[in-house]
């Protein structure tokens, strides 16, 4: 029997692209009425730490005081830009903005209100990479807050929750053996395998979108295999398993992951405090520290291309087959959307053979 559902991108950003793809791929199981996502972009496009909420936008369409739809003309107030409005033309469902300011309790109320507005009776939570399964002790874990808060809020609604994990390991956070153990523990079942036809309608997105995990899922569906270096030196091996979509027991994960510690939070600050207890710091602390340590952004020049050449050659000698463009932008210090776009344009002119967005071949 098909459930009418709200499909929720657990990590925000590029996860909503994969959520849209799965809404179509799994339409025999879920009649998706709307998509939902945070606006939580990386510093190369939005210099503000943490997720953006309703008050940060102009141009949203309100369906209910707790249900705000992102339009193609919506814009952030102040510095930076959100990738969500630019994604709207590629999506086949309404895109709702998730506001994390009120913690789990308020986010659960948003999901419940969205289900009422769109006549849905279930939630489908989609994570790309698998860090939503994390228990908190994993040494490579870097950004669990968004996913954990999403799952905690979904569990709090009382609606049936289906949890899908795509592109296992492509976020470069949990180690392969940790992911295998957690998938087994939470009764993982492979429910789909993505291919190039599934991704065709959103292929153009990866010419500009900074999401690494979702971009790597795209190249995996194109048949690309190899070792990719991503931001902050993470090395990811893209194999045939990358295209598989797993369904896991949502209730079990919610009870035994970091989500369990956020279940009754009333603010984003309280969520951060709970994460700090288990991790020593929150994801937003990391962003604040990076912002404080940032130097002036560099304007890309032809010398920048030479620096990238030297780095790429050294990476190839380490067995790396490609860098993500986000990694290249990070290495070049080209922060801000304008500097990042200028570097992309320069590399398209000077190193066209290396440019395979979202990859830079070495």
Instruction: Give CA–CA dist 19/7, Å, rounded.
Output: 6
Considering the domain architecture, whether residues 27 and 122 belong to the same structural domain is answered as yes
Q: Tens digit of pLDDT for each residue in 246-258?
A: 999 999 999 999 9
Instruction: Give CA–CA dist 196/225, Å, rounded.
Output: 14
Considering the domain architecture, whether residues 22 and 121 belong to the same structural domain is answered as yes
246-to-151, 163, 179, 194, 249 alpha-carbon distances in Å: 16, 8, 12, 11, 10
Asked if residue 294 has pLDDT above 80, the reply is no
Q: Is residue 288 part of a domain?
A: no
Cβ–Cβ under 8 Å, residues 326 and 44: yes
Asked if residue 110 has pLDDT above 90, the reply is yes
Considering the domain architecture, whether residues 248 and 316 belong to the same structural domain is answered as no
Cβ–Cβ under 8 Å, residues 238 and 229: no
Considering the domain architecture, whether residues 159 and 260 belong to the same structural domain is answered as yes
DSSP letters for 3-47: EEEEEEETT-TTHHHHHHHHHHHTTTTEEEEEEEE-B---TTT--
Q: Is residue 357 part of a domain?
A: yes
Instruction: Give CA–CA dist 29/143, Å, rounded.
Output: 30
Q: Structurally, how many domains does the chain consist of?
A: 2
Considering the domain architecture, whether residues 195 and 309 belong to the same structural domain is answered as no
Residue 316's domain spans which residues? 302-361
Considering the domain architecture, whether residues 43 and 172 belong to the same structural domain is answered as yes
Collapse the DSSP code of 120 into the 3-class scheme (helix H, G, I; strand E, B; otherwise coil) and give the result.
coil
Domain end call among 255, 270, 285 = 270
Considering the domain architecture, whether residues 74 and 150 belong to the same structural domain is answered as yes
Q: Is residue 163 part of a domain?
A: yes
Q: Is residue 160 part of a domain?
A: yes
Asked if residue 245 has pLDDT above 90, the reply is yes
Query: Is residue 175 exposed (0-12), middle (13-18) or buried (19+ Cβ within 10 Å)?
Result: middle
Considering the domain architecture, whether residues 200 and 346 belong to the same structural domain is answered as no
Q: Is residue 234 part of a domain?
A: no
Q: State the pairing for strand pair 122-128/161-166.
A: parallel
Considering the domain architecture, whether residues 251 and 317 belong to the same structural domain is answered as no
> What pLDDT shows up at residue 45?
84
> What pLDDT shows up at residue 13?
79
Q: Is residue 312 part of a domain?
A: yes
* The model's pTM: 0.96
Higher pLDDT, 291 or 188: 188
Considering the domain architecture, whether residues 252 and 333 belong to the same structural domain is answered as no
Considering the domain architecture, whether residues 247 and 316 belong to the same structural domain is answered as no
Considering the domain architecture, whether residues 205 and 246 belong to the same structural domain is answered as yes
Q: Is residue 284 part of a domain?
A: no
φ, ψ (nearest 5 deg) of residue 272: -60, -45
Instruction: Give CA–CA dist 98/149, Å, rounded.
Output: 11
């Amino acid at each position: 029997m098909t459930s009418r559902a709200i499909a929720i991108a657990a990590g925000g950003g590029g996860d909503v692209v994969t959520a849209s793809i799965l809404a179509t791929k799994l339409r025999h199981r879920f009649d998706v009425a709307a998509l939902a996502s945070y606006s939580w972009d990386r510093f190369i496009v939005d210099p503000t730490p943490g997720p953006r909420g309703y008050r940060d936008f102009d141009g949203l369409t309100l369906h209910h005081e707790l249900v705000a739809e992102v339009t193609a003309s919506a814009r952030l107030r102040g510095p930076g830009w959100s990738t969500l409005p630019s994604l709207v033309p590629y999506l086949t469902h309404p895109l709702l903005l998730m506001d994390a300011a009120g913690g789990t309790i308020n986010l659960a109320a948003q999901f419940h209100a969205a289900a009422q507005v769109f006549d849905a009776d279930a939630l489908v939570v989609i994570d790309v990479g698998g860090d939503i399964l994390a228990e908190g002790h994993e040494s490579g874990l870097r950004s669990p807050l968004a996913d954990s808060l999403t799952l905690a809020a979904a569990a709090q609604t009382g609606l049936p929750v289906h949890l899908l994990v795509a592109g296992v390991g492509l976020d470069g956070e949990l180690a392969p053996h940790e992911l295998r153990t957690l998938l087994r523990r939470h009764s993982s079942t492979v429910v789909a395998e993505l291919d190039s036809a599934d991704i065709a309608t959103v292929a153009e997105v990866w010419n500009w979108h900074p999401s690494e995990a979702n971009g790597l899922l795209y190249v995996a569906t194109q048949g690309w295999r190899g070792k990719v270096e991503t931001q902050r030196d993470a090395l990811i091996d893209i194999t045939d398993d990358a295209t598989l979509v797993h369904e896991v027991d949502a209730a079990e994960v919610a009870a035994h992951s970091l989500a369990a510690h956020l279940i009754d939070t009333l603010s984003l600050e309280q969520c951060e405090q709970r994460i700090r207890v288990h991790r020593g710091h929150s994801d937003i602390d990391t962003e604040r520290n990076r912002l404080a340590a940032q130097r002036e952004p560099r304007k890309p020049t032809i010398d920048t291309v030479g620096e990238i050449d030297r780095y790429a050659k050294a990476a190839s000698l380490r067995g790396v087959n490609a860098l993500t463009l986000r990694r290249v932008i990070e290495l070049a210090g080209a922060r801000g959307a304008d500097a990042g776009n200028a570097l992309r344009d320069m590399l398209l002119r000077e190193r066209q053979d290396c440019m395979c967005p979202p990859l830079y071949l070495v």
